[in-house]
Amino acid sequence: MADINKINPEELDNVTGGAAGAGVWKTVCNLDGGYLAIRTAPSANYENEINHIGLKNGEKVQVTGATVQGTGFGGGIAYYTWVYAPKFGVSGFVNAAYLG
């Protein structure tokens, strides 16, 4: 039997044409209040919120793209994942820290 070599996430992206883990369903969690904004860019500002809609704790999203580094509130580093939100029928970036 031939040896099996593991493939890293970057190589998997190249092979599949998408993000490793794409298609996985995640649940919105750890929100103290308010909502998890769906954004057009990986940056926390009011102007890039899609229709100023958001997700609440317990709602599901489907990961359909990669996680990227962006800017959080106050200018710090945050990580954003491209998702599809069936509740609103839109895709966009959400802060990955609130997905479980």
Where does residue 17 fall: left (phi above 0), alpha (psi -120 to 50 degrees), or beta otherwise?
Answer: left
How much is the pLDDT for 43?
Answer: 96
Residue 4, pLDDT > 80, answer no
pLDDT digit string (tens) for 17-76?
A: 445 556 899 999 999 989 999 999 999 999 999 999 899 999 999 999 999 999 998 999
Task: Report the distance separating Cα 80 and Cα 92, nearest Å.
Answer: 9
Residue 6, pLDDT > 90, answer no
How much is the pLDDT for 53?
Answer: 85
18 secondary structure, DSSP code: S
